[in-house]
């Protein structure tokens, strides 16, 4: 079963893949061979002018357009319209993202590339675990206009860029224990842990390999199987073993079907049933869009504040990322200057008016 958090995570991943600036043949080597007569004719009929050039690469109009279309398509697929203030600067921002990606890629060492490959492989293992099968993952990727091959290539390039940034920026950021404690003390609400439950489930899926609903006859067969599993659970059969033997949820079956979650994280029918159970109680069949669930509650965890020791590493990572983002604009400007970047035929949009400053002048 894919919960709300997991679906949101994948949406973010796919958005990143589109925004992450893969341009296929966006960058071309300055030393490319001379074009043939046929290619020259094509260029005359369908011009593809260079919109940016620098040491070792150039970016053409079609590549920039493709990147912008990918972003708009992903936003449409997620039903998340691009805000007006972003849309107005989209061409300029995407072009500079493409330039930044090319410069970072050129700076990647063999170690950076090896680290990126390892992290990318781990990423796809984790993503695949959240889907019942490969076809379901491919369908989700296809929904935003990509093939799996394109998605994998884009993610690898993203991880290469991240490895370079980690080496060149993140490694130079130091966050002290005092800074971590101050953040913890200044943001108490962020560390309030709401009531949660630890529950296990067996999912008998009523979806086919393409995530489409089964026919009524096949669904009745699945319901019969779910009732049989429920009867075994009621008799006291090992619930973790039932999950491993029968569950169609790849994200939990190997750990006995167990999840720990709070309100708002699972689909509403599943959540309502889990929170209504008593400890060690087994639910009746719970139907969701994924199929039939048999749920067993193991523990109710009262609301509490998370101890500093348990979140200090995450706080430090968050503060490190924040500091990296602060340094990023100057770093990007420096890289573009060193690379001799030249923008051709695209004007920088006017900077937004600082309304606060304008009010102060009045």
Does residue 136 register a pLDDT over 90?
no
Taking the CA atoms of 154, 155, 158 and 160 in sequence, report the sign of the dihedral they define.
negative
Does residue 37 register a pLDDT over 80?
no
Model confidence pLDDT, tens digit, residues 138-152: 988 887 778 999 999
Does residue 213 register a pLDDT over 60?
yes
pLDDT at position 82: 82
pLDDT at position 58: 96
pLDDT at position 83: 80
Beta strands across the sheet bearing 258-262: 258-262, 196-205, 291-301, 286-288
pLDDT at position 161: 96
Q: What is the token pair recorded at 137?
A: 């993952």
Mean of pLDDT values over 82-107? 90
State residue 108 phi and psi, 5-degree precision.
-70, 130
pLDDT at position 1: 55
**Do the two domains 4-174+322-356 and 195-302 of this chain adopt the same fold?**
no
pLDDT at position 33: 38
Q: Are 54 and 27 in contact (CB under 8 A)?
A: no
Residue ranges of the alpha helices (H) in 187-259? 216-234, 239-246
Per-residue pLDDT band for 24 (boundaries 50, 70, 90) equals very low
pLDDT at position 328: 96
Model confidence pLDDT, tens digit, residues 245-284: 999 998 899 899 999 999 999 999 999 999 999 999 999 9
Query: Of the given ranges (40-54, 119-133, 136-150, 270-284), which has the lowest mean pLDDT?
Result: 40-54
pLDDT at position 360: 52
pLDDT at position 175: 97
Burial of 338 (0-12, 13-18, 19+ CB in 10 A): exposed
Position with higher pLDDT, 165 vs 136: 165
Model confidence pLDDT, tens digit, residues 347-361: 888 876 654 444 555
% of residues, the chain, pLDDT over 90: 67
Per-residue pLDDT band for 303 (boundaries 50, 70, 90) equals very high
Mean of pLDDT values over 310-329? 97
- pTM of the complete model: 0.66
Q: What is the token pair recorded at 347?
A: 């004007």
- Average pLDDT, whole number, for the chain? 86
pLDDT at position 7: 39
Q: Are 101 and 158 in contact (CB under 8 A)?
A: no
Per-residue pLDDT band for 135 (boundaries 50, 70, 90) equals confident
Mean of pLDDT values over 195-208? 96
Mean of pLDDT values over 226-252? 96
Model confidence pLDDT, tens digit, residues 60-80: 999 999 888 888 877 877 778
Kind and range of the H or E element at 343?
strand 342-343
Under CATH, to which class is 4-174+322-356 assigned?
A: mainly alpha
Per-residue pLDDT band for 231 (boundaries 50, 70, 90) equals very high
Q: What are the extents of the domains in the chain?
A: 4-174+322-356, 195-302
Q: Specify the CATH architecture of the domain 195-302.
A: Roll (3.10)
Give the separation between CA 280 and CA 271, rounded to whole angstroms. 16
Does residue 285 register a pLDDT over 90?
yes
């Amino acid at each position: 079963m894919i919960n709300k958090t997991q679906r949101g995570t994948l949406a973010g991943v796919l958005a990143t893949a589109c925004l992450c600036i893969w341009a296929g043949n966006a960058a071309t080597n300055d030393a490319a061979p001379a074009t043939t007569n046929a290619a020259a004719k094509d260029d005359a009929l369908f011009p593809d002018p260079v919109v940016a050039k620098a040491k070792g690469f150039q970016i053409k109009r079609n590549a920039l357009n493709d990147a912008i279309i990918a972003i708009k398509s992903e936003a449409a697929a997620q039903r998340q319209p691009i805000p007006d203030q972003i849309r107005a600067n989209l061409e300029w921002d995407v072009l500079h993202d493409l330039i930044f990606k090319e410069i970072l890629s050129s700076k990647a060492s063999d170690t950076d590339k090896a680290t990126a490959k390892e992290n990318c492989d781990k990423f796809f293992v984790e993503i695949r675990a959240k889907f019942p099968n490969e076809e379901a993952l491919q369908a989700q990727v296809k929904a935003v206009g990509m093939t799996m091959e394109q998605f994998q290539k884009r993610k690898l390039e993203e991880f290469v860029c991240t490895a370079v940034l980690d080496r060149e920026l993140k490694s130079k950021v130091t966050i002290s224990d005092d800074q971590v404690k101050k953040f913890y003390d200044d943001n108490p609400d962020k560390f309030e842990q709401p009531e949660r439950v630890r529950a296990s489930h067996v999912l008998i899926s009523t979806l086919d390999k393409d995530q489409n609903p089964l026919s009524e006859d096949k669904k009745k067969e699945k319901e019969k199987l779910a009732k049989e599993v429920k009867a075994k659970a009621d008799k006291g059969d090992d619930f973790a073993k039932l999950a491993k033997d029968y569950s169609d949820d790849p994200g939990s079956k190997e750990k006995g079907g167990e999840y720990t979650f709070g309100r708002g994280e699972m689909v509403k029918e599943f959540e309502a049933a889990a929170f209504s159970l008593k400890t060690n109680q087994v639910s009746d069949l719970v139907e969701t869009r994924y199929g039939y669930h048999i749920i067993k509650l193991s523990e109710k965890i009262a609301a509490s504040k998370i101890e500093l020791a348990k979140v200090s590493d995450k706080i430090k990572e968050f503060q490190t990322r924040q500091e990296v983002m602060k340094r990023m604009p100057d770093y990007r400007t420096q890289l573009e200057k060193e690379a001799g970047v030249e923008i051709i035929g695209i004007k920088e949009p006017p900077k937004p008016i600082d309304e606060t400053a304008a009010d102060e002048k009045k």
